Amino acid sequence: MTASTPRTAYWRGFRAALPFTIVVGPFGLLFGVVGTEAGLDVAQVMGFTVLVIAGASQFTALQLMQDNAPTLIVIASALAINLRMAMYSASFAPHLGRAPLWQRALIAYMNVDQTYALSHADYEAAPSQSTAAKAAYFFGASTPIIPVWIGASALGIVVGEAIPPALALDFAVPITFIALITPALRTLAHVAAAVTSIVMAILLSFLPWNLWLLLAGLIAMMVGAEVERRMGTRP
Amino acid sequence: MTEIWIIILALGAGTFVIRFSFLGILGNRALPLWLLRHLRYTAVGILPAMVTPLVLWPEATGGQMDPSRIAAASLALAVGLWTKNAIWAIVVGMATLWGIGWLMG
């Protein structure tokens, strides 16, 4: 693994990401369908999909717009969901901080849950890879994910209501996240963080504006870090 | 009309700034050990919290608990833990949901 060149890293990322197109596809499709139903025109749906590329926040914005929430509340709530990506960005910094600026900007633009989780897992498994190889892995993982996301949304605009609700496409979202988390539960500290995260999400669910999500995440990270410190081992 | 575009542009710009933040600005600087130790748990700290309400109180059922969704999520979790393979977890999870939906008519 330590000998991975940018080329091999790129294709390793590409292959790892390929299966996730199966779930990114329906998720993007769903946004196209729901956005069109909500009255957005083609340019607006695609504007969301291409400029934001963050499904959960896009659905949140859509929901609040339909509830006629004030513009500022819509923006603030949707951005709060994406605040987790500041932590993604920070956890990439030690691995990709030395990459050229244009690469870091491109990585930031395409840093979604799937590309992040796959890349971070790879960097943790093989930390001594070169920065170029790490960046290449990320770009490899993005190659199938991002175009499928954008293409599926466009398709969703076209096929619209032909999709039966019985397919329960909404559930592709949590299922994807569960699938992304489980391989990461390698140590007691990771398990403790995940369990804390779930318990806190339930206990704090009364908090408004997605504050519960940010707090639950923060507390879970502290629990994971503390367990790791007490065990005295690096995962 | 313009309001929608204001939301789209603000959300796009804001999301990029969030994603670029540490990676772009901190760049080459080394982060302290305690911070790195916390950052290792970002994904496992945030994603389960995000999933929990989607499984327990799904919007598609008007926020009512749905046994088929809880069963599907539990099976996906079990398969993910057992096989360490994300795609099998997804396949089993969605198949469970569809299977129960089909059986219940």
User: Most confidently modeled of A15-24, A32-41, A149-158, B80-89?
Assistant: A149-158
Tell me the pLDDT of chain A averaged across its residues: 86
Integer angstrom CA distances of residue B11 from A18, A44, A210: 28, 13, 16
Residue B57 has pLDDT above 90, yes or no: no
- Tell me, yes or no, whether A105 and A207 share the same domain: no
Task: Give residue A233's pLDDT band: very low, low, confident or very high (50, 70, 90).
Answer: low
Average confidence (pLDDT) over A32-53? 90
Distance from CA of A189 to the nearest CA of B (A): 8
For A194, the token pair is: 């995940």
Helix axes B42-56, A84-96, angle to 10 degrees: 150
Chain B residues inside the 8 Å CB shell of A193:
41, 44-45
Give residue A31's pLDDT: 85
More confident residue, A67 or A50: A50
A96 CA to centre of own chain: 18
Separation between Cα atoms, residue A54 and residue A80, nearest integer Å: 12
Show Cβ contacts of residue B53 under 8 Å, excluding neighbours closer than 6 positions.
A201, A205
Separation between Cα atoms, residue A33 and residue A27, nearest integer Å: 10
Give residue A215's pLDDT: 86
Task: Give residue B105's pLDDT band: very low, low, confident or very high (50, 70, 90).
Answer: low
Q: What is the number of structural domains in chain B? A: 1
Give residue B28's pLDDT: 59
Residue B38 has pLDDT above 70, yes or no: yes
Cβ of residue A211 closer than 8 Å to a chain B Cβ: no
Average confidence (pLDDT) over A178-206? 89
Task: Say how many CA atoms lie within 13 Å of B77 toward its Cβ.
Answer: 16
Sort B1 into a burial class: Cβ within 10 Å, 0-12 / 13-18 / 19+.
exposed
- The verdict on residue A180 lying in a domain is no
Give residue A140's pLDDT: 97
Task: Give residue A13's pLDDT band: very low, low, confident or very high (50, 70, 90).
Answer: very high
Separation between Cα atoms, residue A57 and residue A75, nearest integer Å: 9
Give residue B12's pLDDT: 96
Give residue A115's pLDDT: 94
Q: What are phi and psi of A76, to 5 degrees?
A: -65, -45
| Nearest residue to A35 (alpha-carbon basis) of A145, A161, A146, A177 | A161
Average confidence (pLDDT) over A97-111? 94
Whether B90 and A179 lie within 8 Å, measured CB to CB: yes
Residue A1 has pLDDT above 50, yes or no: no
Q: Name the residue with tokens 């999909």.
A: A49
- Tell me, yes or no, whether A49 and A159 share the same domain: yes
- Tell me, yes or no, whether A220 and A156 share the same domain: no
Give residue A143's pLDDT: 97
Q: What is the number of structural domains in chain A? A: 2
- Tell me, yes or no, whether A158 and A64 share the same domain: yes
Residue A15 has pLDDT above 90, yes or no: yes
Give residue A189's pLDDT: 92
Whether B47 and A108 lie within 8 Å, measured CB to CB: no
Last residue of a domain, one of A168, A201, A226: A168
- Pick from A96, A173, A180: which is nearest to B23 by CB? A96
Residue A10 has pLDDT above 90, yes or no: yes
- Tell me, yes or no, whether A148 and A192 share the same domain: no
Chain B residues inside the 8 Å CB shell of A213:
46, 49-50
- Tell me, yes or no, whether A127 and A208 share the same domain: no
- The verdict on residue A49 lying in a domain is yes
More confident residue, B15 or A75: B15
- The verdict on residue B16 lying in a domain is no
Structural domain for A195, as ranges: 185-235
- The verdict on residue A136 lying in a domain is yes
Measured between CA atoms, the residue of chain B closest to residue A216 is B49
User: Most confidently modeled of A129-138, A167-176, B84-93?
Assistant: A129-138
Separation between Cα atoms, residue B93 and residue B71, nearest integer Å: 8
Residue A3 has pLDDT above 80, yes or no: no
- Tell me, yes or no, whether A82 and A121 share the same domain: yes
Separation between Cα atoms, residue B55 and residue B68, nearest integer Å: 10
Cβ of residue A9 closer than 8 Å to a chain B Cβ: no
- Pick from B10, B22, B48: which is nearest to A89 by CB? B22
- Tell me, yes or no, whether A115 and A221 share the same domain: no
Residue B66 has pLDDT above 90, yes or no: no
- The verdict on residue A179 lying in a domain is no
Separation between Cα atoms, residue A14 and residue A19, nearest integer Å: 10
- The verdict on residue B12 lying in a domain is no
Integer angstrom CA distances of residue A151 from A47, A81, A170: 13, 23, 18
Whether A171 and B22 lie within 8 Å, measured CB to CB: no
Chain A residues inside the 8 Å CB shell of B67:
none
- The verdict on residue B55 lying in a domain is yes
- Tell me, yes or no, whether A93 and A202 share the same domain: no
Average confidence (pLDDT) over B47-69? 84
- Tell me, yes or no, whether A132 and A81 share the same domain: yes
Residue B97 has pLDDT above 80, yes or no: yes
Cβ of residue A167 closer than 8 Å to a chain B Cβ: yes
- Tell me, yes or no, whether A162 and A192 share the same domain: no
- The verdict on residue B52 lying in a domain is yes
- Pick from A92, A178, A202: which is nearest to B73 by CB? A178
pLDDT digits (tens, 9 = 90+) for A113-164: 889 989 998 998 899 999 999 999 999 999 999 999 999 999 999 987 676 7
- Tell me, yes or no, whether A207 and A135 share the same domain: no
- The verdict on residue B11 lying in a domain is no
Chain A residues inside the 8 Å CB shell of B43:
88, 116-117, 120, 180-181, 184
Measured between CA atoms, the residue of chain A closest to residue B7 is A75
Asked whether the beta carbons of A212 and A163 are under 8 A apart, the reply is no
Measured between CA atoms, the residue of chain A closest to residue B105 is A166
Q: Using CA of residue A42, residue A85, residue A120, residue A227, what is the dihedral sign?
A: negative
Give residue A110's pLDDT: 96
Determine if the pTM surpasses 0.80.
no
Measured between CA atoms, the residue of chain A closest to residue B37 is A225
A138 CA to centre of own chain: 13
Structural domain for B66, as ranges: 48-103
> How many degrees, rounded to 5, is the angle at CA B37 between CA B32 and CA B40?
125
Asked whether the beta carbons of A173 and A34 are under 8 A apart, the reply is no
Task: Give residue A71's pLDDT band: very low, low, confident or very high (50, 70, 90).
Answer: confident
Rg of chain A taking only CA atoms, in angstroms: 19
- The verdict on residue B5 lying in a domain is no
